[in-house]
Structure 1
Amino acid sequence: MNAKAGPTSLPEIDVEEFRKVVRSRRSIRRFTDDPIPEQVLEDCLELATLAPNSSNLQPWEFYVVQTPELKAKVAHACLGQNAAKSAAVLIVVVARPDSWRDHARQALKDWPEETMPPIVEKYYRKVAPIHYNQGPLGVLGLAKKAAGLAVGLTRPVPRGPYSHCEMKIWATKSTALAAQNLMLALRAHGFDSCPMEGFDECRVRKLIKLPAKGLVTMVVAAGRRAENGVYNRQYRFDQRQLVHYL
């Protein structure tokens, strides 16, 4: 992907094709032996990284497990689920609540235009180092929370993240959006996926040599769906129960 590419005009979009992608995406429990072509996998991962994310700090990483021996071990750590055992590839989707400082510096360094708007430069140089920094033992976060409670009595203010725990939530929200992009991209290419939360995180972390502060958000099994890959008919609760118009 060319990070310095300029803006382009909006393409024509066929909503029915998008609807087909969304409606045909299912959590697939069994895959065929067909591999995912390298160029397809690379495209899906690029589309994943185009997901919206907080302050464009991109707090995610993707560990693509393809080698048979390691894939078998990760599948075992995923409790031996059929989706994990039969997948062509396993993608460990990781949230990085600790990468914000380096990524803020990188945003300044890699800005894609000749001139960076002053407000953007100020944000990455001054605002982000205060907003996301929790300080030793979370002391700065507690101070920011107290200040936010006081100022918030008279006007709207950002409410957090105020702790290392809230930073984990912050990173996970953006990472989950990237994972959804990844799964929809796979479906658009004619492949499928299964996002798995059932895994032994300690074992997965050890197998992929994950840095200490990385969080395994999910393990995505990917491949071409087998005929018996869908276990049950899809259903959702009544939309009126869950959508509220105010």
Structure 2
Amino acid sequence: MNAKAGALPDINLEEFRKVVRSRRSIRRFKDEPVPKEVLDDCLELATLAPNSSNLQPWEFYVVKTPKLKTKLADACLGQNAAKTAPVLIAIVARPDTWRENARLALEEWPENKMPSIVDKYYRKIAPIHYNQGPFGVLGMAKKAAGLVVGLSRPVPRGPYSPNEMKIWATKSTALAAENLMLALRAHGYDSCPMEGFDECRVRKLLRLPRKGLVTMVLAVGKRAEDGVYNQQYRFDQSRFVHYL
């Protein structure tokens, strides 16, 4: 183990299992506020999620103001989770912040000396790997080169277009969203990730950056007694897990 990482803490597996198994998509919440210190801690834990090249392509818009929250709930198609939650969080993927965040990765390196391979990656490789060029021309060129080189050895296959950059950012952002939901459950609070919303209205209400993508709107609060609509079940695991 890397000595710089420090000793690993003891983990209580059963407590983690309780957090995961008790997390449910809550459809109705109690009329109780969520303390700011709880939200702050959960959001910090969210940003500790693994993400591509540590470029952290996400943003979180926490909506607590009653008037704005009511409008956002309406943009979420009036779902009960959105209407009853004391807090709504728009979780936004940012496929366009990689260049700025690559610069920050160099400036905020936490150790005295940055390894040359890390310096090279953020200064030279990332600007080539993630840059799609005007009208996606560079991305198409990289794809063509990858097809040729890939005939003889393994190569990265993308992202090769602005649309693939959206997928790239959304994958990391979804990991952060899961961290956030589990952190809330560990604090004794609940959530409901909502995909049903009018993205145009959400973007306008929250004045989101032009290239920001609303991955989901998360309803947050204390679950009401009737907050869980149905018993949880999953299909047989053999349908999804394949040991090779």
Q: Taking structure 1 as the reference length, what is the TM-score of the superposition?
A: 0.97
* Letter in structure 2 aligned against 1:19: R
1:52 aligns with 2:47: no
Which among 238, 241, 244 is matched to residue 240 of structure 1? 238
- Report the alpha carbon displacement of residue 8 of structure 1 after superposing the two structures with TM: 2.8
* Letter in structure 2 aligned against 1:159: R
2-structure distance, mates of 1:117, 1:42: 32
Q: Which residue is 1:76 aligned to?
A: 74
- Report the alpha carbon displacement of residue 9 of structure 1 after superposing the two structures with TM: 1.5
Match runs of 1:25-44 below 5 Å: 25-44=23-42
- Report the alpha carbon displacement of residue 183 of structure 1 after superposing the two structures with TM: 0.2
2-structure distance, mates of 1:210, 1:233: 36
- Report the alpha carbon displacement of residue 92 of structure 1 after superposing the two structures with TM: 0.2
Which among 147, 165, 168 is matched to residue 167 of structure 1? 165
Match runs of 1:1-246 below 5 Å: 7-246=5-244
Q: Which residue is 1:3 aligned to?
A: none
2-structure distance, mates of 1:88, 1:180: 20
Q: Name the SS of the counterpart of 2:5 in structure 1.
A: coil
Q: Which whole-Å deviations, capped at 9, do the CAs of 1:129-179 have from their partners, x for residues lacking one?
A: 000000000000000000000000000000000000000000000000000
- Report the alpha carbon displacement of residue 188 of structure 1 after superposing the two structures with TM: 0.2
2-structure distance, mates of 1:175, 1:142: 25
- Report the alpha carbon displacement of residue 7 of structure 1 after superposing the two structures with TM: 2.9
* Letter in structure 2 aligned against 1:60: W
- Report the alpha carbon displacement of residue 34 of structure 1 after superposing the two structures with TM: 1.1
2-structure distance, mates of 1:7, 1:66: 37
2-structure distance, mates of 1:36, 1:229: 16
Q: Which runs of 5+ in 2 are unaligned?
A: none
Q: Taking structure 2 as the reference length, what is the TM-score of the superposition?
A: 0.98
1-structure distance, mates of 2:47, 2:199: 23
**Alignment length (residue pairs):** 241
Q: Could you tell me the percent identity over the aligned residues?
A: 78
2-structure distance, mates of 1:30, 1:8: 42
* Letter in structure 2 aligned against 1:123: Y
